[in-house]
Amino acid sequence: MCGIVGYIGSRDCTEVLLNGLTKLEYRGYDSAGIAVFQNGKISVAKSKGRLKNLEEKMEQENSRPFGHVGIGHTRWATHGEPSDVNSHPHSGGRVTIVHNGIIENYKELKDYLISQGVTFDSDTDTEIVAKLLDYRYNGSPIQTISATVRDLEGSYALGIIFADHPDQVYAVRCESPLIVGVGENESFIASDVPAIIEYTRDYYLLEHEEIAVLSGDGVQIFDSFGTPIQKELKTADWDVEAIGKGGYAHFMLKEIHEQPTAIRNTISPRIQDGLPNLEECGITPEVLRRFRHIQVVACGTAMHAGTVGKYVIEKLAKIPVTVDIASEFRYRDPLVGEGDLVIIISQSGETADSLAAMRLAKSLGAKTLAIVNAMGSSIAREADMLIYTHAGPEIAVASTKAYMVQIAVMYLFSFELAFALGQIDEAECRRLIRLLQQTPDAIQSILEHKEKTQYIAASLINADSLLYIGRGLDYALSMEGSLKLKEISYIHSESYAAGELKHGTISLITDNMPVIAVATQKALMEKTISNIKEVKARGAKVIMICRSSDDIDAEAVDLMFGLPDFEDILMPMIAVVPLQLIAYYTSVLKGNDVDKPRNLAKSVTVE
Ligand code: M6R
């Protein structure tokens, strides 16, 4: 999604903006631009493509602005194709803005402005906001912003500069995230902490329709009516190192290797005397006993983590769990209400569909529990109960360590729920917790012997399409393996419940459609092996992910990745690691941009 950075201070503004935008690259974008006050005038530079295209363009045209106040943007196209003209900043004349989000009533506003004689250069909804601000501008930036945003429907975070206020940067938000960084004699606006952490750790989190004014005197914040307000200054506890690659070729590889630590950081504070304790998150045995049904809502990888949770909760706690994609849930008149617990899982805590689904669930009377990685994000703030995952910043678009800690939390939650409901006794609960605590070591052992995954990846790069199969928890895991591969390798793949193949999909099997079979559930092993034989008999090359100790007929498979022996129910945490690595190496071997796959954004803050 789009990234915003703004700066006022004594540094070279262009450098701060470009540096900050580089730190937001992980969000995904297809064009970039900056606007900087130079000798009292706004100088704009923008370009389609990566930030390096913008830098090259400024160098070639000798147009790199120099000044100390400005705004910058990376755009992920929604209205209008990626192009120089559609790139931000957009100007309305006296007002220049950058925007993250979608203005839903843009057509109506555009028609009105056209009727007033206003003309447009781009296809963006953002230019309409710039022109509307300019049309309304009465010399008072705060009054103008406050009046204009009342007419906007949709989501937005805006960075704004006014030509006649060269010593100020303005910002306002609704739904789309925006923070205001406070340094010594300098201030910043940004879509996310990594953009500013090099300069300051102190920041304000802008709330709905709040307006920030950054000037030489520091930062002032106003409510939507223009009344000054006091806000709590937050401190980002992120490690600057954590947002660098730390010697790894890609963020994704680094994040895969961070998984053992991320699990420990996430589960340790929630285990006391060998038992799960989620009290600090608002979850007690009494609270847990109130629910008769659990609904999990999330998108993409987070939804896959919820699917693992479904199998585990139903098996241990014997409560029905349904899992829904947030964009479906929010529009299907869902049957949730009092007595239901709705769990929203999100790494970013800003995914538009997940946020809307959570609000809907609350309005229907359900209790909501958010499992979120990004501190202070919208979903985290609005949920009734909250469990933070402590994965640290996840930069690669393909989610790995966030998935790992999401499922770790689902296990903790399931153990506590099953114990609270009397479905498992204390001894069993303690045993499961001990096993969960051992998962980081098992994962580490895979990371230390990962070469085989490169070999498997090399065997996949020429395939047009792949199938991931499994049963039960292995099926839940196959979904994640398949998504990981397709999003970064660009090879089509599907996950399928192994027993369902015969009902249609097996007709696709050829010798150019490798099948990755995940088989970690002992009770289902024989059944999965029968399915493997069926696809093998039809020419498929089969790659099997199972325990090293499993006695597999060498004839039945072409390649195998052996996992350490572990309890069945916890195997998804172990078995996902080779699936992540296979996807990673396939992408590397194909020469793709692993951390920033085409067309994708890290945080999907628009519908
Ligand atoms: O920030 P969220 O966890 O809410 O994001 C949800 C999905 O957009 C995300 O998991 C996406 O599927 C990942 N890119 C997959 O690797």
SS3 assignment for 273-290: CCEECCHHHCCCHHHHCC
Q: Whose CA is nearest to atom 8 of ligand 1?
A: 300
Residue 79, Cβ neighbours under 10 Å: how many?
Answer: 15
The alpha carbon of residue 17 and the mean position of all alpha carbons in its chain are separated, in whole angstroms, by: 23
What 3-state class would DSSP assign to 441?
A: helix
> How many angstroms does the Cα of residue 481 sit away from the middle of ligand 1?
14
Tokens of residue 469, six digits:
């199969």
Q: Of the candidates 70, 72, 66, which has an alpha carbon nearest to the alpha carbon of residue 23?
A: 72
604 within ligand 1 shell (Cβ under 6 A):
yes
> How many angstroms does the Cα of residue 378 sit away from the middle of ligand 1?
15
As a dihedral over the C-alpha atoms of residue 337, residue 338, residue 341, residue 347, rounded to 10 degrees, the angle is 60
State which H helix or E strand residue 161 sits in: strand 154-162
Mean pLDDT by 10 residues, the chain (607 residues): 93 97 84 96 94 95 96 89 92 95 91 96 94 96 95 92 97 91 96 92 93 94 93 82 76 94 93 94 94 97 98 97 96 93 96 96 97 91 94 93 98 98 98 97 93 92 95 97 97 95 90 95 93 92 94 87 96 98 95 91 80
* 2 catalytically annotated: yes
3-state helix vs strand vs coil in the chain, percent to 5: 40, 25, 35
What 3-state class would DSSP assign to 94?
A: coil
182-188-189 Cα angle (round to 5) = 120
Candidate from 26, 191, 256, 301 with most ligand 1 atoms within 8 A of CB, to mutate: 301
* 281 catalytically annotated: no
Phi, psi of 8 (to 5 degrees): -145, 130
The answer for residues whose C-beta is within 8 angstroms of residue 418's C-beta and 6 or more apart is 313, 316, 317, 318, 424, 429
> How many angstroms does the Cα of residue 31 sit away from the middle of ligand 1?
22
Exposed/middle/buried for residue 35 (C-beta within 10 Å: 0-12, 13-18, 19+): buried
In terms of residues, how long is the chain?
607
399 within ligand 1 shell (Cβ under 6 A):
yes
398 within ligand 1 shell (Cβ under 6 A):
yes
C-alpha to C-alpha distance for 363 and 442, rounded to whole angstroms: 42
472-370-495 Cα angle (round to 5) = 30
> How many angstroms does the Cα of residue 597 sit away from the middle of ligand 1?
13
Residue 555: predicted pLDDT? 81
Residue 600: predicted pLDDT? 87
DSSP state, 247?
T
Q: Which of 2, 299, 429, 546 is catalytic?
A: 2
C-alpha to C-alpha distance for 322 and 336, rounded to whole angstroms: 11
Burial 515-534 (b: 16+ CB within 10 A, else e): bbbbbbbeebbeebbebbeb
DSSP string, 443-501: HHHHHTT-HHHHHHHHTTTT-SEEEEEESTHHHHHHHHHHHHHHHHH--EEEEEEGGGG
Label each residue of 165-226 as H, E or C.
CCCEEEEEEECCCCEEEECCCCEEEECCHHHCCCCCCEEEECCCCCEEEEECCEEEEECCCC
377 within ligand 1 shell (Cβ under 6 A):
no
Residue 80: predicted pLDDT? 83
Tokens of residue 95, six digits:
């007002």
Tokens of residue 46, six digits:
């923008």
State which H helix or E strand residue 363 sits in: helix 352-363
Q: Of the candidates 142, 147, 199, 198, which has an alpha carbon nearest to the alpha carbon of residue 170?
A: 142
Label each residue of 415-431 as H, E or C.
HHHHHHCCCCCHHHHHH
Q: Of the candidates 102, 162, 174, which has an alpha carbon nearest to the alpha carbon of residue 133?
A: 162
As a dihedral over the C-alpha atoms of residue 546, residue 551, residue 556, residue 561, rounded to 10 degrees, the angle is 30
Q: Which atom of ligand 1 is nearest to the CA of 604?
A: 8
Q: Whose CA is nearest to atom 10 of ligand 1?
A: 301
Residue 104: predicted pLDDT? 86
The alpha carbon of residue 440 and the mean position of all alpha carbons in its chain are separated, in whole angstroms, by: 23
Residue 383: predicted pLDDT? 96
> How many angstroms does the Cα of residue 406 sit away from the middle of ligand 1?
12
As a dihedral over the C-alpha atoms of residue 169, residue 232, residue 244, residue 264, rounded to 10 degrees, the angle is -160
Do residues 229 and 206 touch, judged by C-beta distance below 8 A?
A: no
DSSP state, 106?
H
C-alpha to C-alpha distance for 365 and 182, rounded to whole angstroms: 39
Tokens of residue 487, six digits:
């999003």
468-472-476 Cα angle (round to 5) = 50
378 within ligand 1 shell (Cβ under 6 A):
no
DSSP state, 163?
T
Candidate from 250, 297, 299, 329 with most ligand 1 atoms within 8 A of CB, to mutate: 299
Q: Which atom of ligand 1 is nearest to the CA of 304?
A: 10
> How many angstroms does the Cα of residue 603 sit away from the middle of ligand 1?
7
368 within ligand 1 shell (Cβ under 6 A):
no
259 within ligand 1 shell (Cβ under 6 A):
no
C-alpha to C-alpha distance for 24 and 578, rounded to whole angstroms: 28
Amino acid at 34: I
C-alpha to C-alpha distance for 519 and 544, rounded to whole angstroms: 7
What 3-state class would DSSP assign to 594?
A: coil
Q: Which atom of ligand 1 is nearest to the CA of 600?
A: 14
| DSSP bridge pairs for 103 | 154
The model's pTM is 0.77
Residue 241: predicted pLDDT? 60
Do residues 473 and 311 touch, judged by C-beta distance below 8 A?
A: yes
Q: Which atom of ligand 1 is nearest to the CA of 603?
A: 1
Tokens of residue 146, six digits:
């406050």
C-alpha to C-alpha distance for 586 and 569, rounded to whole angstroms: 28
Do residues 391 and 262 touch, judged by C-beta distance below 8 A?
A: yes
Residue 94: predicted pLDDT? 97
Q: Of the candidates 99, 82, 155, which has an alpha carbon nearest to the alpha carbon of residue 605?
A: 155
If you compute the radius of gyration of the chain from its CA atoms, what whole number of angstroms results? Answer: 25
> Could you give all domains of the chain from N- to C-terminal order, each with its CATH number?
3-241 (3.60.20.10), 251-444 (3.40.50.10490), 451-589 (3.40.50.10490)
